Structure 1
Amino acid sequence: MARRTSKFAFPTLPAVHWQPGLPVHGAPTWVVVVGESGLPAAAKDAGERLGVDLGRLLEAQQATGFTPTAGATAAYPLLSGEVTEILLVGAGDGTAQDLRHAGAAIARFGRGKDELTTVVADGIDDAELQAFAEGVVLGSFTYTLKTVDPGKPVVGRVTVTDGSDDDRQIELDRGVVVGRTGWLARQFATTPSSEKDPAWLAARATELAAETGLEVKVWDEKQLAADGFGGILAVGKGSTRPPRFIRLDYVPVGATDDTPYVVLVGKGITYDTGGLSLKPRESMVSMKRDMTGGGSVIATLSALRELGAQVRVTGLICAAENMPSGTAYRPDDVIRHYGGRTTEVKNTDAEGRLVLADGLAYAVQDLEPDVIVDVATLTGAIKVSLGSMLYGGLFATDDALADNLADAGRVSGERLWRMPLPEEYQELIATPIADSVNSSKGPGSITAALFLKAFAGDIPWAHLDLSSIAESPTDRFEYTTGATGAGARLLTTWLTSPTPTAGIG
């Protein structure tokens, strides 16, 4: 029986709409966002509209344990009138991060509802309002193949107002698009590998390219062999589902030879068993999301035209399925990568760096960009260094590039911690047989980064090892249990900032 290949479509997201002034009627549920400084300025007028003293309501809820910490909620039913319910939602100290968490809490509460009217504080700046809209989208994320009790649908519409006559729709629209990149990356990562293989990923990238004005090119296994992509081919040899190399190109309107040029390289391992260096069962569970880096690159490229990015960007996705079989690559094999550099394999479960190496070498030799950034769920070692769900690992050969990415991490909520690239550890990946080995004892995330560094040449380069933030254990803040789609919001935020390549080189 032929395997089903579904056509990908943008997810159905909640509409997030700005309302100048308080609505005359509004939705059956009103949401009031409460900061540490108290109720928003429009709360008095909103209370009069609803026939409720919101100040007293807040005091009563606080007496029963409600606090305005970011994402905290307390619901209060109304027994008469068109409005049937009021929800208080905490926004902490009103930072962008706290407002993102508040937006996600509202989205979770709103599941199954047609509309929510939401009153926020006046004086929220553009970045904070954008983050709020991101939270609404991210907190709405759902993916299920259930045929029984699939859960409530996302809220249809969230109407936002601060009671003023201002028009803030632009900030909300931008937040929805940035949030959508996170949703798309999660959807890619959550799709079961029974459906998702390298060809599936290439088909989804092609469809999104057509939707969002990108150029696309896909290498199949024959073209990969003809062009010498030895790393991608080796990793994919053990699977009956052959590898792919995907190239997406975004060129802004009015681009010239002086327009900065960035290449993103994403790890697209659609399932990782470890190959012949087989993982234990417990470590294999969740490896459908080992293509998070590649999915985040696709999601990022899909948003650039809509957000008006002013840099040229190429996204390269190195896609393969790492399986054990009679045709699989082996420990002690020597791989010849794109461009000729060789690697002695010591661990077939250190496969991500082998496919990324081909992508980096192609970028250097054929594209000659100003900046290269690769993104991957590369090592378990980064989780040992940084723990889970706080920071992703950042390695970089250029201080300005590291700073720009770290700034984007703080803005997007996908925070990064810079790690060292000490030359003293180069000897750990040395071998008399080839130019390097793909795995060794010692500091695993650092030696993996040093392995990749050799393929980036002299071009300013950064490596994002996001294994530490790729899987959320619970529904918390803007995350749902499972794959986080790490990297998409970070890269989108960076590339659509006013000067993403400032100071680099």
Structure 2
Amino acid sequence: MARRSAPNVFPTLPALVWQPGLPVHGSHTWVIVVGESGLPAAAKQAGERLGVDLDRLLEVQTATGFSPSAGTTAAYPLLTGEVDQVVLVGAGGGSPKELRHAGAAIARFGRGKDELTAVVAEGIEDVALQAFAEGVALGSFTFHRKTVDTGKPMVERITLTDGSDSERAAVIERGLVIGRTGWLAREYATTPSNEKDPAWLAARATELAALTGLEVKVWDEKQLAADGFGGILAVGKGSTRPPRFIRLDYTPEGATKDTPYVVLVGKGITYDTGGLSLKPREGMVSMKRDMTGGGSVIATLSALRELGAKVKVTGLICSAENMPSGTAYRPDDVIRHYGGRTTEVKNTDAEGRLVLADGLAYAVSELKPDVLVDVATLTGAIKVSLGSMLYGGLFATDDALADNLAEAGEVSGERLWRMPLPEEYVDLISTPIADSVNSSKGPGSITAALFLKAFAGDLPWAHLDLSSIAESQADALEYTTGATGAGARLLTTWLASESPTSGIG
């Protein structure tokens, strides 16, 4: 099959450059980031440089509807001097979340421009300035296959200053790296499935591994059969494009046998028709993003060395295309997973848990990590529970692990809500034919988590069901319309924190 040439391994982001003191020669557009407390301290100096009374400008713009709530913008043209316009951008109370939104708004406003100069409040905490940089990266995201009307390109350079002599370049660079993981995960999820299949996903992982010092191993369909990955093979049987199992390994410098070890398992369904339990057309639209979990794991692993993560991490991506055909797996089939546990299939559209089960079982049997986390766009039921674009679902067998992930969710902007794992519901997935069924009536996100829990052994385990935050309906906040790349920023923030496994076990 003819294929497009491989994309650039890393996206080209805007150059976000920290400038101690106000620049002598700024760009043609200056952005003043305004909080609830008013203009930044450097605004007076900036106003003198621009020949503008910024206090009066803010007063006028406020009278005509501008508010400093995060992400709002108001542009004011200048008719004389080297600068063409001044833009006010709201940053609300200056929290990391609000500054992330402000950074994204600046990136959107800057499309088509060569350069912006942005003035922020002095003394912004590192975590908030980092979030601002993440927002610039995420707000710059673009993806299309257009040949005409391709839209404005992202801004090439943003010079950022608070007017002081402080040096904050390292904080900004960290934010750009984390933002880049979100961009990569979005790019993978947005790539149409006529281009993207399990082999494509394996090729992207292999490219990133070569660039970032990761070890990589890929199982093809023959090796999957030889090693007993029955879930991945079953889901991929109906497609002419065979499945893959991808392993990426990150080992920090100076690692010892006492270095904490985390395994991530990602769902990598490159297209989901539902198989023989066929989805309606409306249900298939957007199913190119059903590999968001796997893409997020790949993006996360790509950033760990740059961020100096102190834990050893293995990423396992369980990838298949779920298609109906004469070779497809069927309702009532019994699957034997890696390690021997069996599943009776009741719905071929509950395929994600079947591939994840193989990955979890492999991790428990062969890797024996300290912590095990899987991530997936697994159920529509989680959207019923949590709505859209507010929280992802978090299930966990260890309270400290749940707390650490939830904290990373707050910091990264990909928030989580902990869901229960009641043993009373295990009977809902029982069957006299096999060890469990893959689908049942009842609380769907919970029974899916309970199905996976059986494959996690006695390890501290968490399951992230992120369907509820996987797709944005609008260009808003740090998101663009379409796939959000949910999970990449969350996992990267968690694993690159000072002690991600603190208290677990």
TM range (shorter): over 0.9
Distance 1:313 1:348 in 2: 31
Equivalent position of 1:414 in the other structure: 414
1:311 aligns with 2:291: no
Equivalent position of 2:484 in the other structure: 484
The CA deviation string for residues 399-426 of structure 1, in whole angstroms up to 9 with x for no partner, is 0000000000000000000000000000
Equivalent position of 2:215 in the other structure: 215
Equivalent position of 1:260 in the other structure: 260
Equivalent position of 1:473 in the other structure: 473
Equivalent position of 2:503 in the other structure: 503
Aligned-pair CA distance for 1:289: 0.1
Equivalent position of 1:176 in the other structure: 176
Equivalent position of 1:383 in the other structure: 383
Contact persistence 1:17–1:158 (CA under 8 A): yes
Contact persistence 1:181–1:299 (CA under 8 A): yes
Q: Please report the TM-score for the alignment, with normalisation by the length of structure 1.
A: 1.00
Aligned-pair CA distance for 1:123: 1.4
The CA deviation string for residues 315-347 of structure 1, in whole angstroms up to 9 with x for no partner, is 000000000000000000000000000000000
Distance 1:200 1:93 in 2: 43
Contact persistence 1:8–1:207 (CA under 8 A): no
* Aligned-partner residue type, residue 21 of structure 2: G
Equivalent position of 1:239 in the other structure: 239
The CA deviation string for residues 450-501 of structure 1, in whole angstroms up to 9 with x for no partner, is 0000000000000000000000000000000000000000000000000000
Aligned-pair CA distance for 1:2: 3.1
Distance 1:68 1:7 in 2: 39
The CA deviation string for residues 106-159 of structure 1, in whole angstroms up to 9 with x for no partner, is 000000111110000011000000000000000000001100011111110111
* Aligned-partner residue type, residue 474 of structure 1: A
Equivalent position of 1:2 in the other structure: 2
1:25 aligns with 2:22: no
Distance 1:180 1:76 in 2: 31
State how 1:81-100 maps to structure 2 within 5 Å: 81-100=81-100
SS of the aligned residue for 2:92 comes to: coil
Aligned-pair CA distance for 1:189: 0.2
Contact persistence 1:5–1:195 (CA under 8 A): no
* Aligned-partner residue type, residue 357 of structure 2: A
Distance 2:8 2:148 in 1: 23
Distance 2:12 2:214 in 1: 22
* Aligned-partner residue type, residue 372 of structure 2: I
Distance 2:9 2:268 in 1: 20
Distance 1:170 1:372 in 2: 31
Equivalent position of 1:106 in the other structure: 106
Contact persistence 1:8–1:204 (CA under 8 A): no
Distance 2:471 2:3 in 1: 28
* Aligned-partner residue type, residue 148 of structure 2: V
Q: Please report the TM-score for the alignment, with normalisation by the length of structure 2.
A: 1.00
* Aligned-partner residue type, residue 207 of structure 2: E
- Pick closer, same or farther for the CA change 1:91–1:7 going to 2, 3 Å: closer
Aligned-pair CA distance for 1:8: 3.9
Aligned-pair CA distance for 1:25: 1.5
- Residues matched between the structures, number: 505
Aligned-pair CA distance for 1:9: 2.1
SS of the aligned residue for 2:240 comes to: coil
Distance 2:421 2:7 in 1: 42
* Aligned-partner residue type, residue 385 of structure 1: S
Aligned-pair CA distance for 1:12: 1.1
Distance 1:480 1:7 in 2: 20
Distance 1:410 1:473 in 2: 21
Distance 1:291 1:169 in 2: 34
SS of the aligned residue for 2:249 comes to: strand
- Pick closer, same or farther for the CA change 1:5–1:231 going to 2, 3 Å: farther
1:186 aligns with 2:186: yes
SS of the aligned residue for 1:362 comes to: helix
Contact persistence 1:42–1:119 (CA under 8 A): yes
SS of the aligned residue for 1:355 comes to: helix
Distance 1:329 1:5 in 2: 32
Aligned-pair CA distance for 1:7: 4.5
Equivalent position of 1:322 in the other structure: 322
Contact persistence 1:209–1:215 (CA under 8 A): yes
Distance 1:3 1:483 in 2: 22
Distance 2:119 2:158 in 1: 10
Aligned-pair CA distance for 1:4: 3.6
* Aligned-partner residue type, residue 356 of structure 1: L
Equivalent position of 1:251 in the other structure: 251
Distance 2:119 2:4 in 1: 45
* Aligned-partner residue type, residue 87 of structure 1: V
* Aligned-partner residue type, residue 80 of structure 2: S
SS of the aligned residue for 1:300 comes to: helix
Equivalent position of 1:295 in the other structure: 295
Distance 2:479 2:381 in 1: 23
Aligned-pair CA distance for 1:271: 0.1
SS of the aligned residue for 1:3 comes to: coil
Equivalent position of 1:133 in the other structure: 133
Contact persistence 1:317–1:359 (CA under 8 A): yes
SS of the aligned residue for 1:270 comes to: strand
Distance 1:320 1:35 in 2: 47
Aligned-pair CA distance for 1:3: 3.4
SS of the aligned residue for 1:489 comes to: helix
Distance 2:114 2:259 in 1: 44
Distance 1:318 1:386 in 2: 26
State how 1:18-97 maps to structure 2 within 5 Å: 18-97=18-97
Distance 1:155 1:181 in 2: 19
The CA deviation string for residues 18-58 of structure 1, in whole angstroms up to 9 with x for no partner, is 00000111110000000000000000000000000000000
The CA deviation string for residues 428-452 of structure 1, in whole angstroms up to 9 with x for no partner, is 0000000000000000000000000
Distance 1:65 1:369 in 2: 55
Distance 1:294 1:150 in 2: 29
Distance 1:57 1:162 in 2: 19
1:374 aligns with 2:391: no
Distance 2:333 2:8 in 1: 37
Equivalent position of 2:425 in the other structure: 425
Equivalent position of 1:164 in the other structure: 164
Q: Which runs of 5+ in 2 are unaligned?
A: none
1:147 aligns with 2:158: no
* Aligned-partner residue type, residue 318 of structure 1: C
Aligned-pair CA distance for 1:5: 4.8
Q: % of aligned pairs identical?
A: 84
The CA deviation string for residues 69-114 of structure 1, in whole angstroms up to 9 with x for no partner, is 0000000000011111100000000000000000000000000111
Contact persistence 1:271–1:288 (CA under 8 A): yes
